[in-house]
């Protein structure tokens, strides 16, 4: 039904970008549906028309708070759980929108390099890791925050917080990513893109060229940009409007 490449079942698991695209489309569709529900309208056109008539900030805030309080929060689940007749489908929808909202917020925070906001999200991540059975991640986050907040010298903690959590080698806005993801890119370059072959394949050679591999990659990217070559290094955001309409209709 959806037009996201690689999402259909096959022998291999979908790539991360595929799942990420799907989750963002799902989030947008459910958020749009929530705005229609909160405003009492049936289509986006009617919603925009109603907002044009009453576009004052308090009204928009009232609608947003209604969505969060009743359709996208843990408090909404508590309220629904107190009803004599349980609506498990609605409860599942609220849970999903709450979790998707956190996921999208986290992804945006990382891309923008907002380490302050990222630190504020860590307590939530700890509970998500624990609830999802990711005990090692949960333990690591708890131990790190204990060290970061109460044990590390302030100047050391500040350096790690500001310069080691997220990195942005390109320097472009919205292109931050975790430091361990950068290391994964480096490993890929070492093992694949710039891997020594045949007679050059030795540990000594790899030791010598490894420090220069990030520079090799930047030079390659620069050449690609100069000659408009295509290497497939960028992920193109799909046009999701058709998928949004399909999902909103199903909701």
Specify the number of domains making up the chain. 1
pLDDT reported for residue 205: 81
pLDDT reported for residue 77: 94
Q: Is residue 106, in this structure, part of any structural domain at all?
A: no
Q: Is this prediction's pTM over 0.85? A: no
Q: Is residue 125, in this structure, part of any structural domain at all?
A: yes
Q: Is residue 122, in this structure, part of any structural domain at all?
A: yes
pLDDT reported for residue 99: 95
8 A C-beta contact, residue 117 and residue 109: yes
Q: Is residue 104, in this structure, part of any structural domain at all?
A: no
Q: Is residue 142, in this structure, part of any structural domain at all?
A: yes
Q: Is residue 107, in this structure, part of any structural domain at all?
A: no
Q: For 198, phi and psi rounded to 5 degrees?
A: 50, -125
Closest CA to 4 of 24, 18, 17, 14: 18
pLDDT reported for residue 213: 85
Q: Is residue 143, in this structure, part of any structural domain at all?
A: yes
pLDDT reported for residue 10: 63
Q: Using 70 as the pLDDT threshold, list the residues of the chain that sit under it.
A: 1-4, 6-11, 200, 230-239
pLDDT reported for residue 206: 81
Task: Provide the residue range defining the domain that includes 141.
Answer: 114-167
pLDDT reported for residue 195: 77
For the stretch 200-243, pLDDT in tens is 678 888 888 888 888 888 888 888 888 877 655 555 555 677 77
In terms of Cβ atoms closer than 10 Å to its own Cβ (0-12, 13-18, 19+), residue 228 is exposed
Q: Is residue 39, in this structure, part of any structural domain at all?
A: no
- Residue 147 CA to residue 143 CA, distance in Å, equals 6
């Amino acid at each position: 039904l959806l037009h996201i490449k690689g999402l259909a079942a096959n022998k291999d698991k979908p790539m991360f970008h595929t799942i990420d695209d799907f989750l963002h489309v799902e989030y947008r569709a459910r958020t749009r549906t929530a705005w229609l529900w909160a405003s009492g309208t049936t289509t986006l056109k009617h919603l925009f028309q109603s907002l044009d008539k009453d576009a004052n900030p308090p009204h928009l805030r009232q609608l947003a708070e209604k969505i969060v309080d009743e359709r996208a929060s843990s408090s909404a689940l508590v309220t629904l759980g107190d009803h004599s007749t349980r609506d498990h489908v609605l409860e599942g929808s609220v849970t999903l929108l709450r979790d998707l909202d956190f996921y999208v917020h986290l992804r945006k925070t990382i891309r923008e390099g907002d380490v302050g906001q990222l630190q504020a999200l860590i307590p939530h991540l700890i509970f998500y890791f624990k609830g999802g059975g990711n005990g090692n991640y949960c333990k690591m986050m708890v131990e790190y925050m204990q060290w970061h907040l109460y044990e590390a010298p302030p100047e050391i903690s500040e350096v790690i917080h500001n310069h080691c959590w997220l990195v942005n080698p390109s320097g472009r806005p919205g292109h931050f990513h975790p430091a361990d993801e950068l290391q994964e890119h480096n490993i890929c370059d070492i093992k694949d893109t710039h891997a020594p072959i045949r007679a050059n394949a030795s540990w000594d050679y790899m030791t010598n060229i490894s420090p220069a591999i990030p520079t090799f990659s930047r030079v390659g990217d620069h050449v690609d940009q100069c000659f408009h070559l295509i290497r497939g290094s960028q992920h193109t955001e799909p046009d999701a409007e058709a998928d949004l309409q399909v999902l909103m209709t199903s909701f």
